[in-house]
Amino acid sequence: MLAKRLFYEDSGWRLRQRQRQLRRPGFGVSFGSARPESRGGGNFGGAGLYRAFISYSHSDRKVADWLHRALEGYRIPARLVGSETPLGPVPARLIPIFRDRDELSASGSLSAGLTAALGDSLFLVVICSPAAAQSRWVNEEVRLFKHLHGAGRVLALIADGDPADAGGRGCFPPALAFELDAGGAVTDRAAEPVAADIRPGKDGRRLALLKLAAGLTGLPLDALVQREAQRRQRRAALVSGLSLALAGVMAVLAVLALQGRREAERQRAEADGLVEYMLTDLREKLEPVGRLEVLDGVGRQALAYYGRQDLGALDADALGRRARALHLVGEVRDLRGDSEGALMAFREAERATAEQLARDPGNPERMFDHAQSVFWVGNVALQRKEWTTAEDRFARYAELADGMAATDPKELKWLKEQGYAANALGGLYIYQDRSQEAVPPLTRYVAITEEVARRTPGNSAARWEAGQARAWLADALLKLERVPDAKDHRLAELAIYAGILADDPGHADARLSLGRANEALAELHLRAGEIEAAAQRSQIAFESQKNLVASDPGNMLWLEMATGAAVQHAEALLLAGRIGDAEAANGWAMAQAVRLSGTDPRSRPFRNLLMRSRMIEIATLFAGGRMPEARRAGGSFVADYAPHVGDDAGPTVTNAWLSALGMLAVERQAAGEGAAVQALVQALNAGLAPGMDGKGVSLHKALAGRIPGLEPATGGQVSRYPADRLMALAAGP
| pLDDT tens figures, 354-407 | 988 999 999 999 999 999 999 989 988 887 888 999 999 999 999 999 999 999
Give just the sign of the alpha carbon dihedral 263, 268, 271, 277: negative
In this prediction, residue 422 carries a pLDDT of 95
Strand bridging mode 194-197 / 154-158: parallel
Lowest-pLDDT range, 616-620, 642-646, 696-700?
Answer: 642-646
φ/ψ of residue 89, rounded to 5:
-60, 140
Beta bridge partners of 98: 53
In this prediction, residue 150 carries a pLDDT of 87
Q: Is 38 exposed, middle or buried (0-12, 13-18, 19+ CB in 10 A)?
A: middle
Residue of 42, 45, 31 lying closest to 3 (CA atoms): 31
How many angstroms separate the CA atoms of 37 and 30, rounded? 13
Q: How confident is the model at residue 93 (pLDDT cuts 50, 70, 90)?
A: confident
As a whole-number percent, the residues of the chain with pLDDT over 70 amount to 78
Q: With 80 as the cut, is the pLDDT of residue 39 above it?
A: no
How many angstroms separate the CA atoms of 523 and 530, rounded? 10
Give the model confidence (pLDDT) of 24-33 as tens digits: 322 222 223 3
In this prediction, residue 215 carries a pLDDT of 92
How many angstroms separate the CA atoms of 587 and 585, rounded? 5
Give the model confidence (pLDDT) of 164-223 as tens digits: 887 778 899 999 999 988 878 889 899 888 899 999 888 889 889 999 999 999 898 888
Q: With 50 as the cut, is the pLDDT of residue 507 above it?
A: yes
* Mean pLDDT score, 85-96: 85
Contact present, 541 and 495 (Cβ < 8 Å):
no
* Mean pLDDT score, 707-730: 86
Looking at per-residue pLDDT, the higher value among 267 and 665 belongs to 665
- Distant-in-sequence, close-in-space partners of 227: CB < 8 Å, separation ≥ 6: 77, 79, 80
Please state, rounded to an integer, the average pLDDT across all residues of the chain.
Answer: 81
- Distant-in-sequence, close-in-space partners of 646: CB < 8 Å, separation ≥ 6: 686, 687, 689
